[in-house]
Structure 1
């Protein structure tokens, strides 16, 4: 199960956490995803969408 927005394709970022003593450890920043029942091609489908796409109105939610 991928952690990727099905609308814009936003996925996890990788990088390094740097401590005060400059020790570095690998880390991942995950997108803020929500499972939403949405209308896709005229059918109701559960998709994972980031909150930026939800706020922008790129997804038509089904009640």
Structure 2
């Protein structure tokens, strides 16, 4: 299952993490220098949720943004109670 949101299409993106050396100019230094760049991944905050999709209850990967936006319709919880013992 790919790491993609069912509703918003959010997925893993790539970027870089920079390492700096030096003191910032506004603090009285000569400025910061980049000493290294490493590749990294930005992973979306996806949750596995039981939801109603096309009238059926299925487990889907959904971003938390989609849950907050109200795009996910959760199934109705069954309120089960045991029958009274008759005798």
Q: TM-score, normalised by structure 1?
A: 0.93
Normalized per residue, the structure richer in strand is 1
Task: Look at both structures and tell me which one has the larger radius of gyration over its CA atoms.
Answer: 2
Aligned-residue offset at 1:59: 0.7
- In the alignment, structure 1 segments of 5+ residues that lack a partner are none
CA RMSD of aligned residues (A): 1.0
What number of residue pairs does the alignment pair up?
63
Q: Which runs of 4+ in 1 moved over 2 A?
A: none
TM-score by length of 2: 0.68
Distance 1:31 1:46 in 2: 18
**1:38 aligns to 2:54 (yes or no):** no
